[in-house]
A and B are shown apart, each in its own frame.
Chain A
Amino acid sequence: MDFQLNDEQRAIRDMVRRFAQEKVAPLAHHTDETGEFPAQIFKEMGELGLLGLPVPEEYGGVGADTVSYALAVEELSAACGSTGLTYAAHTSLACMPLLWFGSEAQKRKYLTHLAQGKGLGAFGLTEPQAGSDAAGLRTTAVKDGDSWVLNGQKMWITSGAIADVVIVAAVTDPERGARGISNFIVEKGTPGFIPGKNEPKMGLKGSVTSQLFFQDCRIPAENLLGELNGGFIQFMKTLDGGRISIAACSLGLGRAAFEAAREYAKQRHAFGHPIADFQAIQFKLADMATELEASRLLIYQAAVLKDRGRPFTKEAAMAKLFASEAAERVCYQAIQIHGGYGYSREYPVERIYRDNRLMAIGEGTSEILRMVIGRRVLRE
């Protein structure tokens, strides 16, 4: 067992950290205050190859491993939660299913476009009445000659309204429940594909979260992703991978809150001492650092298993469950350490606390994850 990053992973982490701190972090407060999507940042990320980091070189990517990808998500999220989440959704939820399930032609056309950073991708699964209960989807796709015709509505779709390519889950055989769902590739601008409003949210305000409407949206038959009625298996595997990246988002956010609190504790004086001298503060920092380290190890474990082609569903669920809830506790304590300043929008911990709240909801709520883990440990 070796807990060291290899040279490549370390070099990738260091460069993402530098880019994130120099380019992304200075915009984070502005992004949160205005809700503006940081488009220029994503343009630069595309030029550097970051938007195709774990995608093989033959499809325009860099071919890095999942550990490197998780490190990149952590670093971006530590600088700006909105940027980290948008990046994670693009990579895990759009690029990876295209890589795993797409035909050669689909990969050449769509995956290469996304990996080269020429546009963002999105994954349209959740609906107003169906989130965790994926079998409850109502969006339909009906074959009509050489086309599929989509009708329905999606909700809470990260980057849905700004993505060039959206993978959309729709019911293709209503009799078969979860086994009657298929995924389709829908291009921006397709007639009948109507992006809705950007949802106002508690945090992650620079991440575009969209409703999507499909009204007799006709797409070519060849835009079916993978097997007909194979959508459920596809998005379960996609979400397994996505959970590693959401865990990494939480780790980045939690780390940023911890580092801000640590610095504040060294500088803030009370009763004639920096508050870092007081054991009450030291114990908080100790618990925060320990929880972040535990999150990190769970994330790396899941990422390594995935790269080795081993089952990682349980480990990815554990990583996301623990990291998202640990970051919640870390952010809470970071605000406690800051006192009144922690509640102010002038200090970053307030934003980070709000940004992290989503991580225990998106891509599998903590409750669903406990079910996933519980079922698996009972089978072992």
Chain B
Amino acid sequence: MKVAVLIKQTPDTAELPKVSPEEVRSGDVKATMVINPWDEYAAEEAIQLGDRFGASSVAISLGKEGETDALKHALAMGVNSALLVDVEAAREGDVWAVATALAAAVQHEGDVDVVLTGKMSVDGNSGAVYTGVACKLGWNLLVNVTKIVDIADGVVTAERSFEGGQETVTMPLPVVISVAKEINDPRYPSFMGIRKASRAKIPVLTAQELGLESIPRAVRWENLRKPEARHTEVQIIEGETVEEQAAKLVDALLAEKVI
């Protein structure tokens, strides 16, 4: 069995507020780039599927040559191999273009049974790429998976969350799965893993190799701006007793028409 885990390199969440619209527009983001935190859960699950079912794993990321920090992080965690997909038309395109390039890379890799992804990226926040990948591949899609119960006889059994409950589903392979954070506790890469990963030469798959020199785009950004910073005010409710504090809190909430 082979698992492909789709990884995005995103700004460190602590530095996200400092990223300017100009940096996003030019693609030259100055922030520290890390593995998308949601994708760490997918990488961890790929490694665990290796332990449980002997699956081999490959991490795939879309990016310019040299943008390999996130892939190296996945390697250091224990994912078997990595692949950088350098397709300019996808990098500068919409989510459909990204999905097109990633799906092509999965097909190019061959023999992949399961594609794992995080639930969204912390920068783009679309949560739509894995849907596009499943669509392009023509595979089944399972979202918000909290547990992969079993993979046997060409069928995956998984638990997933949805509004108001949890369900167990079975689905034939091949399948695209987006994982929720409840699925595991991503490990820290070992320091030996970091050393080996930092020396790894990561193969690059080009647009020419994938036949994706141009990808039609359905969405165009006319404008890009940062949302206004929200101004908040902190009010400490004081009182001699908990009851008194609670009463004052209720009065304050009523006054603000919160309750």
Residue among A11, A53, A63, A64 making CB contact with B76, cutoff 8 Å: A11
B192 touches A8 (CB 8 A): no
Q: Are B195 and A15 in contact (CB under 8 A)?
A: no
- Alpha-carbon separation in the docked complex, A62 to B72 (Å): 17
Segment of B43-51, B88-96, B115-123, B183-191 in the binding face: B183-191
**CB–CB A48/B190 < 8 A:** yes
**Is A19 part of the binding interface, using a Cβ–Cβ cutoff of 8 Å?**
yes
Which residues of B from 23 to 68 have beta carbons under 8 Å from A? 32, 34
B197: chain A residues within 8 A (beta carbon): 11
Contact residues, B2-30 vs A (CB, 8 A): none
CA distance A49 to B197 in the complex (A): 15
Q: Counting CB contacts under 8 A, is B198 at the interface?
A: yes
Give the chain A neighbours of B195 by CB distance below 8 A. Answer: 8, 12, 62-64
B151 contacts the other chain (CB 8 A): no
List the count of A-B residue pairs having beta carbons below 8 Å apart: 42
On B, residues with C-beta under 8 Å from A are: 32, 34, 69, 72-73, 76, 188-192, 194-195, 197-199
User: Could you list 8 further interchain pairs (A-B, Cβ under 8 angstroms) beyond the known A12-B194, A62-B192?
Assistant: A7-B72, A8-B194, A8-B195, A11-B69, A15-B191, A48-B191, A57-B192, A64-B191
CA–CA, A329 and B199, complex, Å: 40
Is the beta-carbon distance between B76 and A49 smaller than 8 angstroms? no
Partner of B194, one of A6, A11, A47, A57: A11
Output the least CB separation between A65 and chain B (Å).
10
Contacts of B192 in A (CB 8 A): 49, 57, 62
Contact A48 B76 (CB under 8 A): no
Is A18 close to B, CB under 8 A?
A: yes
A53 touches B188 (CB 8 A): no
Query: Whose C-beta in chain A lies nearest to the C-beta of B68?
Result: A7
Contact check, B190 vs A7: say whether CB atoms are below 8 A apart. Answer: no
**Total residues of chain A contacting the partner, CB 8 A:** 18
Q: 0/1 per residue, A28-63, Cβ < 8 Å to B?
A: 000000000000000000011110010001000011
Task: Map CB proximity to B onto A1-37 as digits: 1 under 8 Å, 0 otherwise.
Answer: 0000011100110110011000000000000000000
CB of A11 within 8 A of CB of B198, answer yes
Interfacial chain A residues near B69, Cβ < 8 Å: 11
Give Cα A7 to B199, complex, Å.
8
Q: When the two chains form the complex, which single residue of B34, B188, B198 contacts A8, counting CB atoms closer than 8 Å?
A: B198
- Contact check, A7 vs B191: say whether CB atoms are below 8 A apart: no
Contacts of A15 in B (CB 8 A): 76, 188-189, 191, 194
Instruction: Spell out A's residues near B (CB within 8 Å).
Output: 6-8, 11-12, 14-15, 18-19, 47-50, 53, 57, 62-64
Q: Provided the pairs A11-B72, A11-B76 are in contact, do residues A50 and B198 lie with their beta carbons within 8 angstroms?
A: no
From the candidates B190, B198, B199, name the one contacting A49 in the complex (CB within 8 A): B190
Residue in chain B with minimal CB distance to A23: B188
CB-based contact B188/A12 at 8 Å: no
Write 15 A-B pairs (CB below 8 A) sorted by A numbering. Answer: A8-B194, A8-B195, A8-B199, A11-B72, A11-B76, A14-B34, A15-B188, A19-B188, A47-B190, A48-B191, A49-B190, A49-B191, A53-B191, A62-B191, A64-B195
How far is B196's CA from A7's CA once the two chains are assembled, in angstroms? 11
Chain B residue at minimal CB-CB distance from A72: B191
Across-interface contacts of A7 in B (CB, < 8 A):
72, 198
Among B188, B194, B198, find the residue whose CB has the most chain A CB atoms closer than 10 A. Answer: B194
Nearest CB in chain B: distance from A203 CB, A: 28
Q: Smallest Cβ distance from A292 to chain B, in angstroms? A: 19
Which residue on B lies nearest to A63, using beta carbons? B195
Determine the distance from Cα of A63 to Cα of B191 in the docked complex, in whole angstroms: 9
Q: How far is it, in angstroms, between the C-alpha of A150 and the C-alpha of B171 when the chains are bound?
A: 70
Residues of A close to B34: CB separation below 8 A = 14
A8 CA to B199 CA, complexed, in Å: 8
Q: Which residue of A lies closest to B12 (CB)?
A: A14
Q: Provide the bound-state CA to CA distance between A62 and B73, in Å.
A: 17
Q: Which residues of B contact A62 (CB under 8 A)?
A: 191-192, 195
Closest CB of chain A to B67's CB: distance in Å?
Answer: 13
Once bound together, how far apart are the Cα atoms of A50 and B189, in whole Å?
A: 11
- A63 contact set on B, CB distance < 8 A: 195
Closest chain-B Cβ to A306's Cβ sits at a distance in Å of 19
Chain A residue nearest to B198 in the complex (CB) = A8
Q: Which residues of B contact A64 (CB under 8 A)?
A: 191, 195
- Which residue of chain B is the closest to A12 with respect to CB atoms? B194
Can you name the residue of chain A whose Cβ is closest to the Cβ of B187?
Answer: A48
Q: Which of B32, B76, B195, B197 has the most CB of A within 10 A?
A: B195
- Of all chain A residues, the one with the shortest Cβ separation from B193 is A49
User: What is the CA–CA distance of A298 and B194 in the complex, to the nearest angstrom?
Assistant: 26
Per the bound structure, the CA–CA distance linking A95 and B73 in Å amounts to: 28
Nearest-neighbor residue (CB-CB) of A18 within chain B: B188
